[in-house]
Structure 1
Amino acid sequence: MTYFTDTNVAVSAQPSRIAAFFDAIALKMRQRKVYNQTFNELSTMTSRDLADLGLSRGDFRRLAKESAEAVN
């Protein structure tokens, strides 16, 4: 009598999930850095400079968020 045992070892998806997790964290850190840098640079501008650009201090968060979202 002949027996056949088929043993397949599934390759775990765990390493790729862990790598994706750390990639997501790295992306968020880069985005936060760009957000802070943009916000700080806008904060150093005078009211006159902002008026020349057609901006107000209320636009800072929106502009910083838009620049951070453009990061890959």
Structure 2
Amino acid sequence: MKAFLNRIVTAIRKRAAYEHTVAALSRLPLDVKLDLDIYQGDVRAIAHRAVYGA
């Protein structure tokens, strides 16, 4: 039971980190995003890779 709860807690923490990363990337000014080769349509995919891995 403890392992199950640990998996749930880990999943919740990763989801929170994902949402935080999406928000942070979305707030970047357009010129900064372009300098970093980040396109608005790729923000969720980039955040997903950053939190959950490739």
TM-score scaled by length of structure 1: 0.68
Give the gaps of 5 or more residues in structure 1. 1-17
Assess if the C-alpha contact under 8 Å between 1:34 and 1:68 holds in 2: yes
Q: Is the 8 A contact 1:34 1:67 kept in 2?
A: no
Which structure ranks higher in relative contact order (CA pairs < 8 Å, sequence separation ≥ 6)? Answer: 2
**Taking every aligned residue pair, what percent have the same amino acid on both sides?**
28
What secondary structure does 1:36 align onto?
Answer: helix
Aligned twin of 1:42: 25
| Partner residue, 1:55 | 38
Taking the aligned partners of 1:53 and 1:68, their CA distance within structure 2 comes to 18
Q: Which one has the largest radius of gyration?
A: 1
Moved over 6 A (4+): none
TM-score (normalised: structure 2): 0.88
Shift of 1:23: 0.7
